[in-house]
């Protein structure tokens, strides 16, 4: 093969422009491909983000338009009605659920601070739930424990912060506050008025939407107990076996609509909530996949077109080579090597370009850095594509008969 490189280079020098065009095409395709695949990868990992609640078994029923003053009677009555449905394992009333875009943000710090000048306040989602909510959601306790009955019964809202003194936090939040050592038993504060003891650390649960900076902050969630008498608790969460879920949800909606005829009652399964939240991302990922596929096809056809032209132009030279003893395999090898050289030049430029585009996007559009392995992966893809595209024209070249040498062009 190496024997052939010099004549190939000589020939490429003569056909400089078509050669440059192929290199340019491969370079651009490589650059766009790397960045597009990187974006697809980010979408897919977003869609698959773990969320440590019983996602398959949960449904939520939203009740709106009831008298807030009646909440103390309504909530226990509604919870009892839901609990009575066959197949229901656990129920709780909450202020919000993950991925619903209904946020309830707060900020806590490891030190009490009257004026809250503390720069170490960490923003987080506050989930409030009634007794047994941890089990109903299917939270996974990693350290410590759930709230006990006294803690749940004793907590009411005091200007939008729970007045109870206990909190459950996610693992990511625990690590943010205490990078070393256990969080259980430690204290968290809001100003100097509210203080909470961390009674447990649970596996990561997503917030209602992505807010704040960085991947990890999507997991900054804290859970507080609340007694069932506040109108903020308008989301009823019902847990059942996945097989019972749809029926339980239907019956639940019916039960709550009967109890509150003037209220607006709406229900969704958690799977639907999650699907809806990520629907745009999924569509975007598919669109990018489509763009990539079409682009690769266009590039491949471009290589086919240019190489065919090339082969057509050199039929006579190929004939001469065949006449002086070159085998079909050698002719095939010639065109494949030529394509390999062009592809190599293309992907080298392409990788640089891809890196540059990524830097530009990072600077202007809050994209993250592309991991290095996207570059060689994109390069290998285009190499293979080039070899595949050149195969047809190269085979046609190999089938040129030695007689061509005797014909005038």
Partner 1 sequence: MFAYYLQLGLRSLRRNPALTALMVIAIGFGVAASMTTYAVFRAVSGDPIPDKSAQLFKPQIDNWGHQHGRTSDEPPNAMDYTDAMALMRAHKAEKQTVSFPIGPSLIPADSSAMPINVVGFATYADFFSMFEVPFKYGGAWPASDDAQHASTVVINAKLNQRLFGGSNSVGKSINLEGHDYRIAGVTDNWNPQPRFYDVVNGGGFSTPPQIYIPFSRAIDLQMQTFGNNSCNGPGGRGDSFADYLRSDCVWLSYWAQLPTAAAVASYRSYLQAYAADQQRAGRFHWAPNIRLRNVMQWLDYQKVVPPETQVSLLLSLGFLVVCLVNTIGLLLAKFMRRAPEIGIRRALGASRREIYAQFLAEAAMVGVAGGLLGLLLTALGVLGVGLVFESQIARLARVDPALIGLTLLVAIVATVIAALYPTWRASRVQPAWQLKSN
276 binds partner 1 (CB under 8 A): yes
Alpha carbon distances (Å) from 45 to 48, 282, 283: 5, 11, 14
User: C-beta of 371: minimal distance to partner 1 in Å?
Assistant: 18
User: C-beta of 141: minimal distance to partner 1 in Å?
Assistant: 29
Instruction: Say how far apart CA 15 and CA 247 lie, in whole Å.
Output: 71
Classify 212 in phi/psi space as left (phi over 0), alpha (psi -120 to 50) or beta.
left
Contact, 110 vs 120, CB < 8 A? yes
14 DSSP 8-state letter: H
294 binds partner 1 (CB under 8 A): yes
Q: How many other C-beta atoms can be found within 10 angstroms of the C-beta atom of residue 340?
A: 18
163 binds partner 1 (CB under 8 A): no
Kindly tell me the burial class for residue 33, based on how many C-beta atoms sit within 10 Å of its own C-beta (0-12, 13-18, 19 or more): buried
Q: How many other C-beta atoms can be found within 10 angstroms of the C-beta atom of residue 167?
A: 25
263 binds partner 1 (CB under 8 A): yes
291 binds partner 1 (CB under 8 A): yes
Q: Report 195-254 residues binding partner 1 (CB under 8 A).
A: none
Q: Which range, of 4-12, 171-179, 283-291, 397-405, touches partner 1 by CB under 8 A?
A: 283-291
Strand partners, 167: 198
Instruction: Say how far apart CA 207 and CA 215 lie, in whole Å.
Output: 12
Q: Report 103-162 residues binding partner 1 (CB under 8 A).
A: 107, 109, 115-119, 121, 158-161
CA torsion sign for 131, 137, 147, 63 is negative
Cβ nearer to partner 1, comparing 29 with 82? 29
Tokens at 102, concatenated = 């209904």
Which of 128, 137, 233, 288 is the binder for partner 1 (CB under 8 A)? 288
264 binds partner 1 (CB under 8 A): yes
Contact, 57 vs 265, CB < 8 A? no
287 binds partner 1 (CB under 8 A): yes
Contact, 253 vs 59, CB < 8 A? no
Helical ranges in 96-155 per DSSP H: 133-137, 149-153
Q: Which range, of 22-30, 128-136, 237-245, 333-341, touches partner 1 by CB under 8 A?
A: 22-30
User: C-beta of 195: minimal distance to partner 1 in Å?
Assistant: 12
Cβ nearer to partner 1, comparing 204 with 230? 230
69 binds partner 1 (CB under 8 A): no
Q: Which residues bind partner 1 (CB under 8 A)?
A: 17-18, 21-22, 24-25, 28-29, 31-32, 35-36, 39, 64-65, 107, 109, 115-119, 121, 158-161, 190-194, 257, 262-264, 276, 279-280, 283-284, 286-288, 291, 294-295, 298-299, 301-302, 304-306, 308-310, 312-313, 357, 361, 365-367, 408-409
């Amino acid at each position: 093969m190496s024997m052939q490189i010099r004549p190939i280079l000589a020939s490429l020098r003569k056909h400089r422009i078509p050669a440059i065009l192929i290199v340019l095409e491969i370079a651009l395709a490589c650059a766009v491909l790397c960045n597009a695949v990187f974006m697809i990868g980010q979408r897919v990992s977003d869609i698959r983000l773990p969320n440590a609640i019983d996602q398959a078994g949960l449904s939520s029923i939203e009740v709106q338009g009831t008298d807030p003053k009646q909440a103390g009677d309504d909530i226990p009555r509604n919870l009892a009605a839901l609990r009575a449905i066959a197949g229901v394992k656990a129920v709780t009333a909450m202020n919000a659920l993950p991925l619903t875009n209904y946020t309830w943000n707060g900020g806590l710090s490891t030190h009490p601070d009257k004026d809250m000048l503390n720069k170490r306040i960490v923003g987080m989602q506050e989930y409030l739930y009634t007794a047994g909510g941890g089990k109903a959601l299917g939270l996974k306790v990693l350290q410590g424990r759930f709230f006990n009955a006294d803690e749940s019964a004793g907590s009411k809202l005091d200007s939008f912060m729970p007045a109870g003194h206990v909190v459950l936090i996610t693992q990511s939040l625990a690590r943010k506050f205490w990078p070393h050592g256990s969080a259980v038993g430690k204290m968290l504060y809001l100003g100097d008025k509210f203080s909470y003891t961390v009674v447990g650390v649970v596996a990561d649960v997503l917030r209602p939407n992505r807010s704040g900076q960085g991947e990890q902050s999507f997991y900054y969630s804290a859970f507080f107990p609340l007694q069932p008498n506040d109108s903020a608790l308008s989301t009823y969460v019902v847990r059942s076996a996945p097989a019972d879920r749809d029926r339980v949800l239907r019956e639940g909606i019916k039960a709550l609509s009967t109890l509150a005829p003037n209220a607006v009652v709406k229900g969704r399964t958690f799977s639907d909530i999650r699907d809806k939240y990520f629907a745009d991302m999924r569509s975007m990922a598919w669109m990018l996949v489509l763009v990539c596929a079409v682009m690769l096809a266009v590039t491949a056809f471009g290589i086919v077109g240019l190489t065919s032209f090339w082969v057509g132009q050199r039929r006579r030279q190929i004939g001469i080579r065949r006449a002086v003893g070159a085998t079909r395999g050698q002719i095939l090898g010639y065109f494949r090597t030529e394509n390999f050289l062009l592809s190599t030049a293309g992907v080298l430029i392409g990788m640089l370009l891809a890196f540059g585009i990524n830097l530009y996007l990072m600077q202007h559009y809050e994209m993250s850095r592309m991991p290095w392995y996207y570059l060689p992966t994109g390069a290998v893809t285009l190499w293979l594509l080039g070899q595949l595209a050149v195969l047809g024209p190269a085979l046609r070249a190999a089938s040129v008969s030695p007689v061509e040498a005797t014909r005038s062009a």
